[in-house]
Amino acid sequence: QVQLVQSGSELKKPGASVKVSCEASGYSFTMYAMHWVRQAPGQGLEWMGWINTNTGNPTYAQGFTGRYVFSLDTSVRTAYLHISSLKAEDTAVYYCASDLYGHFEYWGQGTLVTVSS
Amino acid sequence: EIVMTQSPATLSVSPGERATLSCRASQSINSDLAWYQQKPGQAPRLLIYGASTRATGIPARFSGSGSGTEFTLTISSLQSEDFAVYYCQQVNNWPRTFGQGTKVEIK
């Protein structure tokens, strides 16, 4: 069955970096686009952008440029979200989600990133 | 950017009753709308796509309708497991945008 398995929770200090992974199984990895979604504590869902799993080309939503990088390693069917220069307001759960026809059919379980000194 | 507005913010419903959730788009999105359910501590789950097509494994008590700018998610007879937050999302244009969510709580 289709699964997206994300890396575990992270506790980071302000200014540090974090890399969240999302390993896909059960489908052809390069057929589905991969999106990233942020959910701050007690808040709604915020689309961060997506990466074309065929070409590796990323697209970032407004507000997620500069410190955020989407990348892939197709050999291990994994997408990555790298956030640098972490701030307290980056504290959130980050989800990966795959998309074949536009809607987000499959979701990872989420990775909690906590930024605190 | 297309703004998605959901109403109400909170809906109090008794088990067995019908729940009707609304979602409005700031411009026409045809039928390019999805609904997701999210329970506490869990990832969102796709319920409806194409405004009215149930995703695999979704019970028939969930139905979606609408096109253009006005959409509705109806839960015909609420079960205990349906109390959750529901989000709509437009997939017609970039950036993809979500509504702010409707919390369905037990009355």
CB atoms within 10 A of CB A75: 7
Residues of A in contact with B36 (CB under 8 A): 45, 104
State the average pLDDT over residues B6-15: 96
Distance in Å, alpha carbon of B96 to nearest chain A alpha carbon: 6
> Which pLDDT tens digit goes with each residue over A75-96?
999 999 999 999 999 999 999 9
Tokens of A111: 């990775």
Proportion of chain A above pLDDT 90, given as a percent:
96
Q: Hey, is the C-beta of B43 within 8 angstroms of any chain A C-beta? A: yes
Tokens of A73: 């390693």
State the average pLDDT over residues A41-67: 97
Compare all CA atoms of chain B with the CA of A43 and give the residue at the minimum distance.
B100
Q: What are phi and psi of B6, to 5 degrees?
A: -105, 145
| pLDDT higher than threshold 90 for residue A100 | no
| pLDDT confidence tier of residue A62, bands split at 50, 70 and 90 | very high
- What pLDDT does residue B90 have? 98
Query: Are residues B48 and B73 in contact, defined by beta-carbon separation less than 8 angstroms?
Result: yes
